[in-house]
Structure formats: C-alpha cells, structure tokens
Amino acid sequence: MRVRAFLWTLAIAGATFAAIALTSLSWVPVVGAAIAAAVVSVNKVAARIDRPVCWHCGHDISRTHAGAYGKICPECGSLNQHKPPQGTA
Ligand SMILES: [Zn+2]
C-alpha cells in the first residue's frame, strides 16, 4: 500500500517535471496542481488502510481488543496498528 502511494507520488513528480520542461509554464501553478494530485492519490490508498482488517491476511479484526501497540490478528498473529496508542505517553 505504502509502496503504491510512493510510486504514485514519483509518477506525479515525473509528470510535473516533464510538464515544466516541455511547456515552460510558470512552475508555481503546476507544482500546486501536482501536490493536490498527490494528496488525492495518497488519500485514496490510505482510505483502505482505515478499514479494521488485518494488514497481513485481511481477517476482520474490528472486534479484536487493541493492546498498547495495536491489534493482534487472531488468524495469523500479525500486529496491526490501526490506532496509535492513546494516553500512554
Ligand atoms: Zn492476519
């Protein structure tokens, strides 16, 4: 998921550089549009992470009790950090 978001950001950055080089537009609005596109792309990927499922196997862990460091998947034992620990600072 994170790799995909990173690749999207790279692709957008490359397209931005090409647009600046090929059209010699003023770079400010182009970079602004690229940043907006990057934010939208990352948000789309991040929206899937918000679902309470195991990141490793996809098992539903919405009813799993969260420990100090996240939720332990009962299916595969992976640690999932859907919410940062609160009140432990
Ligand atoms: Zn799992």
- Residue range 44-78, pLDDT digits in tens: 666 655 668 888 898 988 888 888 888 899 999 99
**56 and 88 belong to one structural domain:** yes
Based on the domain organization, do 5 and 39 belong to the same domain? Answer: yes
Q: Residue 70, SS3?
A: strand
Residue 48 has a pLDDT of: 57
Domain encompassing residue 22: 1-50
Residues 28 and 58 in one domain: no
State in Å: Cα 63 to ligand 1 middle. 13
Do 61 and 74 form a contact (C-beta atoms < 8 A)?
yes
What the block records as the tokens of 8 is 């999207």
Shared-domain flag, residues 26 and 66: no
Are 6 and 46 found together in one domain?
yes
Q: How confident is the model at residue 85 (pLDDT cuts 50, 70, 90)?
A: low
Number of structural domains in the chain: 2
- Report the pLDDT averaged over residues 75-82: 85
Distance (angstroms) between ligand 1 centre and the Cα of 79 equals: 8
**In a shared domain, residues 60 and 89:** yes
pTM: 0.37
Alpha carbon of 7 to ligand 1 centroid (Å): 25
Question: Do both 11 and 46 map to the same domain?
Answer: yes
For residue 71, give the nearest of 53, 49, 51 by alpha carbon. 53
